[in-house]
């Protein structure tokens, strides 16, 4: 059995921050004080200091290798350095601080387990500090160290450190990073870099090196989902046929049942080996050769996975993009090449959904992305790829877009869930509204709404206006739409409680509750979902005509069905609230355990996972529960309701 040559665990980390915050100096200090700088490098540093007429060595020169970097004393390119201690081995990516080099930060952080963001104690948290935190979050980095540098220039004042902690804690609470450590340092003098400093007696945490040596990263690695993109087929002679590549996630051993994608052919693993010999098990990160029991037809770009643990296979995708092309912005009329692992396919960006404002984290509606901008886009491919959502499996959830003419890498992407084929193929046609028997009905794609023959709408003895006068408030329908776990029911219950306490006539219809009776005979096919919303919309109309404020909390995934509900209510009395929340965050919350069951293969047709959700194009109100507190969301909804009267 082949053995690993170095038992020490490898930690990859990246540094980032605003210009002149001291990233390269910090790395230089780490390397110097951990005895990872060679004698000839030390001699070079001393000569450089003498030529500059300086008494202290410039530690940044250890990592700033380009002539332009040395002249300007800034980092332009990504500098990689390796060092080790008795506990761990490290690979460092020193990335630029300038905004125009954000793409370099994405490159350096794409494989990192941890990010160190430097903040100047004098300047506090700057836009670039936030930008780099956002990028770290999008790239799935689970551990963040905020190094408050240049503490020597503020006399090691605790107040300066605490101010950064408060501000960045508030910002990072809205990111998908749950391990944030703050350390006060002076990279120039080495305080709290390798050893604890006597000049910060008020700080009782670890030094940076101690934190790097002890932070737990094993739990961040995906050792469950076996993914093996085939790089090449090895056939030295007719008696041997092996598939060569790197196990990018999970583990694999002899005798395990696997399936080849896209062919779907099933077989079993016969042997796993490396140049050093046969393995009992291949693990993530290892380059191996896998032999199969059967001589199946597999080539470069195909993927081997476990039979009962298959990734998403799709041609229509949604992804977060960081645009890297400094010559041209993203174009929805230009074709690109998508490189995903060893697989390369033609790609077309069909829609830019939004751009993220890195300072506020708000989503801005745009039709393109420019250099260093980050946003969400829909992409259609010429052939399917086999991927996991980046949030679940970084190794199989990332890709790059390449310009087919210049062969430049123009974007880095993080895959999300598959876009619905029905949406991409033009389903969800505009709603035709007609008047029948004195009231509004709807036809979806030429299919009539549910109106029985030979019936006439019977007006009530007491009309809605009289009921509204007695209630002292207008009737309205508030329609909450969003993914499971987005917070629809929480917000609807909160509004119901507020209105009831104010003596308003309010009723709440909930997605699960109506399926206990009114819609208990329906399943979750597209037709059943449509019928479910049709029935709910009709019930909401009845309550509305009775003078009630009707709160409807339903996923309601199809735009045409929400449009039907709107068509039943006067335009100024219907409020569509899009409760927006990324499927990754909904999956993390998973209040009903649906996402866990879907991942385990126990549940199919879950909206946002393997069933489509058509986001509202122009809702009356959008509340993002991943970025906004429940209190603020409720306040925004109440403002919209109060406008009705």
CA distances from 374 to 44, 89, 530 (A): 40, 32, 35
Please name the CATH architecture into which domain 9-220 falls: 3-Layer(aba) Sandwich (3.40)
The reported pLDDT for the residue numbered 433 is 29
Whole-angstrom Cα distance, residue 643 to residue 602?
44
CATH class given for the domain over 432-644: alpha beta
The reported pLDDT for the residue numbered 359 is 73
SS3 254: coil
SS3 432: strand
Domain 227-306 has CATH 3.90.1150.10: no
The reported pLDDT for the residue numbered 7 is 61
Whole-angstrom Cα distance, residue 28 to residue 283?
33
Whole-angstrom Cα distance, residue 513 to residue 215?
45
Domain range annotation of the chain = 9-220, 227-306, 313-419, 432-644
Whole-angstrom Cα distance, residue 29 to residue 112?
20
DSSP of 345-378: EEEEEEEEEEEE-TTT--EE--S---TT-EEEEE
Tokens describing residue 59: 């530690």
Whole-angstrom Cα distance, residue 533 to residue 519?
9
Beta strands in 238-302 (DSSP E): 240-246, 251-252, 257-261, 265-274, 277-279, 282-283, 287-292
Residue numbers annotated as active site: 556
For residue 465, which phi and psi values (nearest 5 degrees)?
Answer: -60, -40
Give tens-digit pLDDT for 192-245: 999 999 999 999 999 999 999 999 887 677 788 999 999 999 988 878 899 999
Whole-angstrom Cα distance, residue 246 to residue 590?
32
Whole-angstrom Cα distance, residue 306 to residue 252?
9
Which residues of the chain, if any, have pLDDT below 70?
1-7, 19, 36-79, 96-104, 219, 417-460
The reported pLDDT for the residue numbered 204 is 94
The reported pLDDT for the residue numbered 36 is 64
Give tens-digit pLDDT for 494-523: 999 999 999 999 999 998 888 888 888 888
Residues 6+ apart with CB under 8 A from 572: 644
The reported pLDDT for the residue numbered 54 is 60
Beta strands in 25-87 (DSSP E): 79-84
The reported pLDDT for the residue numbered 86 is 87
The reported pLDDT for the residue numbered 103 is 61
Q: Tell me, which fold does domain 313-419 have in CATH?
A: Elongation Factor Tu (Ef-tu); domain 3 (2.40.30)
Beta strands in 484-594 (DSSP E): 506-510, 549-553, 574-580
The reported pLDDT for the residue numbered 143 is 92
Sign of the CA dihedral running 134, 136, 141, 144: negative
Q: Would the CATH topology of 227-306 be identical to that of 313-419?
A: yes
Whole-angstrom Cα distance, residue 50 to residue 62?
16
Provide the CB-side half-sphere exposure for 571 (13 A, CA). 0
The reported pLDDT for the residue numbered 136 is 86
For residue 256, which phi and psi values (nearest 5 degrees)?
Answer: -80, 145
The reported pLDDT for the residue numbered 145 is 95
Report the DSSP pairing between strands 343-356 and 374-387: antiparallel
């Amino acid at each position: 059995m082949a053995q690993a040559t170095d038992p020490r665990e490898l930690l990859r980390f990246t540094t980032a921050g605003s210009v002149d915050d001291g990233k390269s100096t910090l790395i230089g200090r780490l390397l110097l004080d951990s005895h990872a700088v060679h004698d000839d490098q030390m001699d070079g540093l001393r000569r450089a200091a003498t030529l500059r007429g300086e008494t202290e060595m410039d530690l940044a020169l250890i990592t700033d290798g380009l002539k332009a970097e040395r002249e300007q004393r800034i980092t332009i390119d990504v500098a990689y350095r390796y060092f080790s201690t008795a506990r761990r081995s490290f690979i460092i990516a020193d990335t630029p601080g300038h905004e125009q080099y954000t793409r370099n930060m994405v490159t350096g952080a794409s494989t990192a387990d941890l990010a160190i963001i430097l903040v100047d104690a004098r300047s506090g948290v700057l836009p670039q500090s936030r930008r780099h935190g956002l990028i770290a979050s999008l790239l799935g980095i689970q551990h963040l160290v905020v190094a408050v540098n240049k503490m020597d220039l503020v006399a090691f004042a605790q107040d300066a450190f605490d101010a950064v902690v408060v501000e960045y804690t508030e910002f990072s609470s809205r990111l998908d990073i749950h391990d944030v450590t703050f350390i006060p340092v002076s990279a120039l003098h080495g305080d709290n870099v390798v050893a604890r400093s006597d000049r910060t007696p008020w700080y009782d945490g670890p030094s940076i090196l101690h934190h790097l040596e002890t932070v737990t990263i094993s739990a961040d690695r995906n050792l469950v989902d076996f993914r093996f993109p085939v790089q090449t087929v090895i056939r030295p002679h007719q008696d041997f046929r092996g598939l060569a590549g790197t196990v990018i996630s999970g583990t694999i051993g002899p005798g395990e049942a696997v399936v080849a994608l896209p062919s779907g052919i099933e077989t079993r693993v016969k042997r796993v080996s490396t140049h050093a010999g046969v393995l009992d098990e291949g693990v993530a990160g290892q380059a191996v050769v896998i032999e199969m029991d059967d001589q199946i037809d597999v080539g470069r770009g195909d993927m081997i996975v476990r039979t009962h643990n298959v990734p998403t296979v799709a041609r229509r995708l949604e992804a977060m993009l960081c645009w890297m092309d400094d010559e041209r912005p993203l174009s929805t009329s230009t074709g690109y090449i998508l490189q995903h692992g060893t697989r390369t396919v033609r790609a077309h960006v069909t829609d830019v959904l939004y751009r993220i404002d890195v300072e506020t984290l708000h989503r801005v509606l745009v039709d393109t992305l420019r250099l260093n901008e980050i946003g969400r886009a829909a992409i259609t491919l010429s052939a399917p790829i086999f991927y996991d959502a980046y949030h679940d499996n970084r190794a199989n959830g990332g890709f790059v877009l390449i310009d087919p003419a210049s062969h430049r890498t123009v974007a880095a992407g993080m895959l999300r869930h598959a876009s619905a084929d029905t949406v991409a193929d033009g389903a969800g046609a505009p709603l035709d509204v007609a008047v029948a028997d004195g009231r509004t009905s709807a036809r979806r794609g030429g299919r009539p709404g549910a109106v029985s023959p030979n019936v006439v709408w019977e007006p009530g003895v007491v009309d809605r206006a009289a009921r509204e006068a007695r209630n002292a408030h207008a009737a309205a329908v508030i329609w909450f739409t969003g993914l499971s776990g987005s917070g629809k029911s929480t917000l609807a219950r909160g509004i119901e409680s507020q209105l009831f306490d104010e003596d308003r006539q309010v009723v709440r219809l909930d997605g699960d509750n109506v399926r206990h009776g009114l819609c208990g005979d329906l399943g979750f096919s597209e037709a059943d979902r449509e019928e479910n919303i049709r029935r709910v919309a009709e019930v909401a109309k009845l309550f509305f005509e009775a003078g009630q404020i009707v709160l409807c909390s339903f996923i309601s995934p199809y735009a045409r069905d929400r449009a039907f509900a709107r068509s039943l209510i006067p335009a100024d009395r219907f409020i569509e609230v899009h409760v927006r929340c990324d499927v990754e965050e909904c999956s993390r919350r998973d209040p009903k355990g649906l996402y866990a069951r879907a991942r385990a293969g126990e549940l199919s047709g879950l909206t946002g996972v393997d069933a489509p959700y058509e986001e509202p194009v122009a809702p009356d109100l959008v509340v993002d529960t991943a970025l906004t507190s429940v209190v603020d969301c409720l306040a925004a909804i109440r403002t919209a309701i109060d406008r009705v009267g």
